[in-house]
Structure 1
């Protein structure tokens, strides 16, 4: 548990000269000081694969899998209202569990786009609890409180939906979702108060507009201005679903990305999650502005949002990172599998390869670090931060029949069960696949027990959910010209 040390690797991925064998990596005060030949391995020594620690570039730190709350395979427009059942019972342990799972899956950093606060604390106090959880795990985080001031239920006047429902259900929805928002000035001020409380070497506070469809023009312009004045990064959703695409086309005849450029939102400070339904010319504008796009393959599949033009975005010069989005494919927050899934979906067809697997891995880490506000490129090189992921190569190369490229085995079969160590800023936060000082199973069991009680306050919503979901489906499908 020190910020100085050394690490032996039988294989590395991430050195400037490419994959290497039998390396010794040394660091002091959290910075790499030497990467050198370790010489012949001693007989019987464990083989390990060392690479840069992963960066989850878009997440919402959801305490437990959302399908446990009845959300399985709902589209986002019904999924989001349903997730109110998973409102965190308290902030610290609700953040501790997903951040611990992130570390166990090889992450050294996580973007926390905080969309579902507990409601039991002042926003600054709640942010402090999330930062405390990250500190106890040992992760670097970016924290962006999600801010919004319009369209609480649908992409337009919610009256059109409420009028189709019995009065008691309409009242329930209005009371649950349609509450007045704070002013743009107050929302920005709250973010900056959070920054005063928790910003530091391991925490980067960012503006977190939930998405254009949920933020007024006044709010977005104010964020763009304040970001330009202060240099604070911005993290937001964009064009995640076909219904958002339809809304964007109706609301911005000049184009939603052109609108963002016009108000000064597009810059290297901006990270855009999803962009599933972005068009080629929009990707060009995003690339020219130096923004990042985060693709979230598991979440996109669960929520049936679409796959997204990931390969085209990268080909056009967009900086593409990977996120778990709190909805990994197996609902286990396994960042390794999410990287593999994104590559499998977008890496090419037949003999045509979109990118080399190693480039995809290392660039997704580098761009993810930028999204989280981490220093360095993520390379294993002198002067870079000592942020490493160490995998059990004996287990990864379990058959040991012939020499195979480590990156091929990584993309073929790696997952969180192969993680031995995670080192962040030179400090070991995961050792032999465990988190020192944190009993994750106990934390998750406590959350389960608490949720079994707290979910009862939403009994009326659960009872009436079939009618609510049908009304939301009817509105969105009609809005999109589907019925």
Structure 2
């Protein structure tokens, strides 16, 4: 469908992740959702005299940001009543609550991202446990469509480790009190769609429906090495290869996962996954906190992408991913909020800044911290590759999809900015998502000057709040106390496990 041309005029335009590409007094022409021209405003107006002109004084216009790892949680876990904790008991805490409306919270998440200059996101594997995972996915996809945010949906898969990481499930269950063991052992709906065949069948149905969709892409989302058997990895990796699909997984996120991986995969997690066909340039690894040099070599050699989630990793007591060493070794890195950013918001610029600052290692002989161009690439072109939109978004070039964000430079430059300080450096050091003045996806303005195009943020917040209130209590009131007691056993299990040396006899 054709649309009227739009010309965006800003004081500064940054066409790509190279800070040196910054231009003054430049305009971008958009026709039918694509970038049609880039040059002086007078030239763009002359070439498209009937275009709508949007003036953005005092702004930096740049490629839209890519949030390369989040789960569609528009209400943070703090807002939902889950305090920060070690990752494993934090996940288990969901057992105390009822079923949440995924559409309402995902739509709010999408709107908040758009308001922070994000134009594309990856929705990582996540299930609300309704027993109808396909409907959950469809509800979430409808939410992204309603907002207009470009999204890559990861179709989740998991077939082990529902209690604790293997191979300790049976031992852990045997040590539980009888009532907790009975509760945990009750029949439940399959995780996600079910086995490999069911997961592939779901991918086929969704793929047929969303084929050619301008905003939606699909990929496989196996939960992580300790949660997915070798056979399931093989099946999904083969189908991903045969159908040109990506794979997005969590790996080596927490100290407990590091310990589990040492026993399950003595040759290394990514070396093991490579043997199963799961490590390719379309593979995306979220978190990657506990990665050694040998693992980095596999990531770099296979062309996989690692997504840095700095705020979440700090809040969940996971550790600090070695970003500087990733970059030094040639690993492609993107950035995500994981809906658990340091300030409990969806400010991807702040998360990017946090990632960069945490990578400033106190070692004169260590790897250098990320350069400005490295950080810009993480939030744009690298995120585009991770989202399976590489070469289509992430730059402002003629022919590319018109995904852009304009940020006010008032916070960056006032009351004074020394002329020797490069503007892009200052923006990355001082800018915030709240500075977004305009967000455009596929040539459509979704957000401008504090207002969304299709819905009031207050209405979306009210719908999400109502969903949260209705899911606050489990259908079985006893689940709250059971979850509290269960958490104690989990914590004791992982305290004991991580204090012990890894048994080299343990194999997957």
- Structure 2 length-normalised TM: 0.88
SS state of the match for residue 231, structure 2? helix
Cα displacement (A) at 1:482: 5.2
Measured in 1, the distance between the counterparts of 2:4 and 2:253 equals 40
**SS across alignment from 1:47:** strand
Shift in Å, 1:180: 7.4
Q: 1:396 to 1:145 in 2, by over 3 A?
A: same
1:426-441 correspondence to structure 2 within 5 Å? 426-441=443-458
The separation in 2 between residues aligned to 1:323 and 1:180, in whole angstroms, is: 24
Q: Which ranges of structure 2 fall in alignment gaps of 5 or more residues?
A: 43-54, 502-508
**Structure 1 spans left out of the alignment, 5+ residues:** none
Deviation at 1:164, TM superposition (A): 3.5
In structure 2, C-alpha distance between the alignment counterparts of 1:88 and 1:56, rounded to whole Å: 26
Residue aligning to 1:372: 387
Counterpart among 121, 126, 151 of residue 136 in structure 2:
126
- Superposition CA RMSD, Å: 2.5
Q: 1:177 to 1:273 in 2, by over 3 A?
A: farther
Q: How does 1:57-72 map to 2 (within 5 A)?
A: 57-72=68-83
Match of 1:476 in 2: 494
Task: Give the Cα separation in 2 of the matches to 1:382 and 1:432.
Answer: 26
The Cα of 1:296 is off from its aligned counterpart by 0.4
**Stretch moving more, 442-451 or 311-320:** 442-451
**Cα deviation, residue 350, structure 1:** 8.5
Please name the residue that 1:23 is paired with: 26
Q: Is the 8 A contact 1:242 1:305 kept in 2?
A: yes
Corresponding position of 2:125: 114
Partner of residue 372 from structure 2, selected from 350, 357, 364: 357
2:202 paired residue number: 190
Shift of 1:409: 2.6
Which residue of 1 is the match for residue 483 of structure 2?
465
- 1:240-389 matches, within 5 Å, as 240-347=253-360, 349=362, 353-374=368-389, 375-376=391-392, 378-389=394-405
Contact 2:261-2:268 at 8 Å conserved across structures: yes
Task: Figure out how many residues of one structure are paired with residues of the other and give that number.
Answer: 478
Equivalent residue number for residue 408 of structure 1: 425
The normalised TM-score by structure 1 is: 0.92
Q: Distance in 1 between matches of 2:40 and 2:191?
A: 62
Per the TM alignment, residue 454 of structure 1 is displaced from its structure 2 partner at its CA by 2.1
Distance (whole Å) between structure 1 residues aligned to residue 188 and residue 41 of structure 2 = 59
Kindly state the Cα deviation for residue 253 of structure 1 after the two structures are TM-superposed. Answer: 2.1
Q: Distance in 2 between matches of 1:110 and 1:3?
A: 26
Q: C-alpha displacement at 1:324, in angstroms?
A: 0.9
Q: Secondary structure at the match of 2:477?
A: helix
Deviation at 1:225, TM superposition (A): 0.9
Deviations 1:370-413 (A, max 9, x none): 11122435122223221111011234322135434322332222
SS state of the match for residue 304, structure 1?
coil
Secondary structure of residue in 2 paired with 1:67: coil
CA contact (8 A) 1:311 1:347 kept: yes
Distance verdict in 2 for CA 1:362–1:284, change over 3 Å: same
> Kindly tell me: are residues 328 and 88 of structure 1, through their superposed partners in 2, closer, same or farther at Cα, counting changes over 3 Å?
farther
Match of 2:122, SS state, is strand
After TM superposition, give the deviation of residue 456 of structure 1 in Å. 1.5
In structure 2, C-alpha distance between the alignment counterparts of 1:6 and 1:180, rounded to whole Å = 47
Does the CA contact (< 8 Å) of 1:88 and 1:116 recur in 2? no
8 A contact 1:65–1:327 mirrored in 2: yes
Structure 1, 74-83 or 184-193: larger mean CA deviation:
184-193
SS of residue in 2 equivalent to 1:82: helix
1:123 and 1:194 in contact (8 A); partners too: no
Stretch of structure 1 that moved more, 450-459 or 368-377: 450-459
More deviation, 377-386/57-66: 377-386
Greater mean deviation of Cα atoms: 135-144 or 396-405 = 396-405
